[in-house]
């Protein structure tokens, strides 16, 4: 996957122990995955690994690959994405995004 | 890629403007990609995107997928990985790792 655009988002829920909120976010991401410019995606939670450098504090990981940077730009303004933000943004207190292109 | 184990590492170089150090880290990661349990990998740098939630301060992104958590455990102690740490760890001042499994 060396030539793809990587878009990796980490969500910290306002109520990380609230299973209903967790499920609502997961279902929102499953709907969001329908955006047609997304090449591949992964909805994740922290693995059981544990070392000092590993951040396990987030609630949900949302990893996407896109063919091009333009496809990711398009995703940002896609109605499906805008609807996801509208429906789910009340659930989280922090989001961190890492966008990467091939070196 | 929903069922894979995601291992995403971000490196902050001690000298982020030092092109030689950047190249040494990239070459180290290219050698590291030979570890046989790695299913797929991406060596990246920050994209040109810019919003408040996007962290663009890192030097290099190293994203791997593994078939299983056990494969990632194996990678951590693989001689090729240990050699990478030995040869390249003097280059970075900070590493942050996110390990994720499917929800």
**Stretch B48-66: mean pLDDT, rounded?**
97
Give percent of chain A above pLDDT 70: 100
So what's the ipTM on this one? 0.96
Residues 6+ apart with CB under 8 A from B52: none
**Cβ contact A101–B43 (<8 Å):** no
Structure tokens at A56: 């396990």
A30 vs B contacts (CB less than 8 Å): none
Of residues B49, B60, B72, nearest to A99 (C-beta) = B49
Of residues B2, B26, B97, nearest to A42 (C-beta) = B2
**Cβ contact B69–A51 (<8 Å):** no
Nearest Cα neighbor of B67 from B23, B25, B13, B7 is B7
pTM of the model: 0.97
- Check residue A87 and give its pLDDT: 98
Above 90 in pLDDT, residue B56?
yes
CATH 3.90.1200.10 fits A5-45+55-101, yes or no: no
**Cβ contact A6–B63 (<8 Å):** yes
B63–A contact, CB cutoff 8 A:
yes
- Check residue A101 and give its pLDDT: 98
- Check residue B76 and give its pLDDT: 97
- Check residue A2 and give its pLDDT: 85
Asked if residue B12 lies in contact with residue B57, where contact means CB atoms within 8 angstroms, the answer is yes
Structure confidence at residue A68 as a pLDDT band (50, 70, 90): very high
| Residues 7-46, chain B, touching A (beta carbon < 8 A) | 8, 10, 26, 40-46
- Check residue B1 and give its pLDDT: 87
Instruction: Give the Cα separation of A97 and B74 in Å (integer).
Output: 28
Query: In this predicted model, what pLDDT tens digit does every residue of A29-49 receive, in sequence order?
Result: 999 999 999 999 999 999 999
Kindly report the average pLDDT of chain A as a whole number: 97
Query: In this predicted model, what pLDDT tens digit does every residue of B87-96 receive, in sequence order?
Result: 999 999 999 9
A58–B contact, CB cutoff 8 A:
yes
Instruction: Give the Cα separation of B62 and B91 in Å (integer).
Output: 15
**Stretch A44-67: mean pLDDT, rounded?**
97
**How many helices and strands (H and E) does chain A possess?**
3, 4
Structure confidence at residue B62 as a pLDDT band (50, 70, 90): very high
- Check residue A88 and give its pLDDT: 98
Instruction: Give the Cα separation of A81 and B43 in Å (integer).
Output: 27
Above 90 in pLDDT, residue A1?
no
Asked if residue A53 lies in contact with residue A19, where contact means CB atoms within 8 angstroms, the answer is no
B103–A contact, CB cutoff 8 A:
yes
- Check residue B2 and give its pLDDT: 85
């Amino acid at each position: 996957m060396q030539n793809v655009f990587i878009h990796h988002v980490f969500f910290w829920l306002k109520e990380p122990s609230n299973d209903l909120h967790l499920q609502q976010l997961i279902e929102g991401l499953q709907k969001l995955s329908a955006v047609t410019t997304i090449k591949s995606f992964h909805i994740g939670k922290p693995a059981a690994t544990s070392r000092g450098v590993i951040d396990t504090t987030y609630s949900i990981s949302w990893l996407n690959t896109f063919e091009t940077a333009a496809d990711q730009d398009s995703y940002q303004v896609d109605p499906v994405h805008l609807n996801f933000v509208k429906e789910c943004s009340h659930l989280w207190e922090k989001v961190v995004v890492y966008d990467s292109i091939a070196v």
